[in-house]
């Protein structure tokens, strides 16, 4: 299944003003990187979000959020937000903010 071009476009609209964020095809979808570190991505029709350990544990308790697992082994500190959890732009912005808050603590690649 190809990734959602609509969701990718919504994400592009949010990140296009930040020159430190780049786009790359990965996981059969598209990801956005901050200073070379994976930040968020679009996989099928869901949003993939990179969070710190504590934030990921909290996020997994929220509705429409599950571990990001496409190989049978969940990626640590990554969450998959299903379409129902990102219907509104404010929800998408919040996930981006949460991911960016963590990824900004990582050294640039």
Measured CA to CA, the distance from residue 84 to residue 27 in angstroms comes to 21
Report which secondary-structure segment, H or E, holds 61: none
Who wins on pLDDT, 68 or 28?
Answer: 68
Q: Which domains does the chain have, with CATH numbers?
A: 5-103 (3.90.1150.30)
Dihedral of alpha carbons 84, 86, 89, 91, sign: positive
**pTM given for the model:** 0.94
Residue with tokens 């990921």: 56
User: What would the pLDDT profile of 15-50 be if each residue is shown by its tens digit?
Assistant: 988 999 999 999 889 999 999 999 999 999 999 999
């Amino acid at each position: 299944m190809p990734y959602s071009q609509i969701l990718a476009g919504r994400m592009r609209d949010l990140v296009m003003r930040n020159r430190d964020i780049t786009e790359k095809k990965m996981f059969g979808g598209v990801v956005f990187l901050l200073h070379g570190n994976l930040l968020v991505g679009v996989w099928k029709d869901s949003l993939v979000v990179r969070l710190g350990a504590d934030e990921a544990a909290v996020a997994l308790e929220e509705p429409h959020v599950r571990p990001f697992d496409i190989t049978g082994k969940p990626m640590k500190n990554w969450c998959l937000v299903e379409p129902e959890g990102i219907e509104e732009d404010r929800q998408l912005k919040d996930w981006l903010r949460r991911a960016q808050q963590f990824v900004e603590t990582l050294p640039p690649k």
